Amino acid sequence: MWRANPKAWVTRQFFVQWVNLVFGPSVKKYLQENNLPMQAPLVLDNAPAHPPNLEDDILEEFKFIKVLYLPPNTTPILQPMDQQKKLWPESVAESTFEGFEPEVPVEEEIVSLGRSMSLVMDERDVNELVKEHSQELTTEELQELQSQQIRGFCKKLVLRKSQRWRILSLQVR
């Protein structure tokens, strides 16, 4: 189950759909296949996508799922993947990064590459181009681009067919 969100966050609506369409059926199937009692905890933190009344939104056939919420500010303590955040500064000294090449700004690399191809350009040109293309295209703009591609493809196709007809007509003569 995949859905897009402009901010790459899970929304409440999507989370409820996921519980009812993916999580619930998967847990039910697992419990039935393994002859386990129809009981399952769903432990959640206080993320914005986790509605406080989730049990009300769960379908009747999945009411065996018990929703449990962690107390506020306990997720980093309980989740093993977050534990490294505490250890990182102590375990990695600044000297570890000695010997690495200094990071060259990407604009400089692009300008260098362009100049190696005999193009006249500087970093302002690169930044201007990036700025022009940083906005997402609208649906209308995407449709126009697709139309242009289709027209270009059709022109090539017509050209190829006309060339083929010329060849055939020359052979007939």
Check if the beta carbon of residue 68 is closer than 8 Å to that of residue 44: yes
What pLDDT is recorded for position 80?
65
Ordered per-residue pLDDT tens for the chain, 173 residues? 555 555 556 777 888 888 899 999 999 999 999 999 999 999 888 777 777 888 888 889 999 999 888 887 776 677 666 566 666 666 665 556 666 777 778 888 899 998 999 989 999 998 888 888 777 878 888 889 888 888 888 887 777 766 666 655 555 55
Where do the structural domains in the chain lie, given as residue ranges?
Answer: 8-71, 106-132
Buried b (16+ CB within 10 A) or exposed e, 65-87: bebeeeeeeeeeeeeeeeeeeee
Instruction: Please state, in angstroms and rounded to a whole number, the distance separating the CA atoms of residues 76 and 95.
Output: 28
The SS3 assignment for 65 reads: strand
pTM (two decimals):
0.43
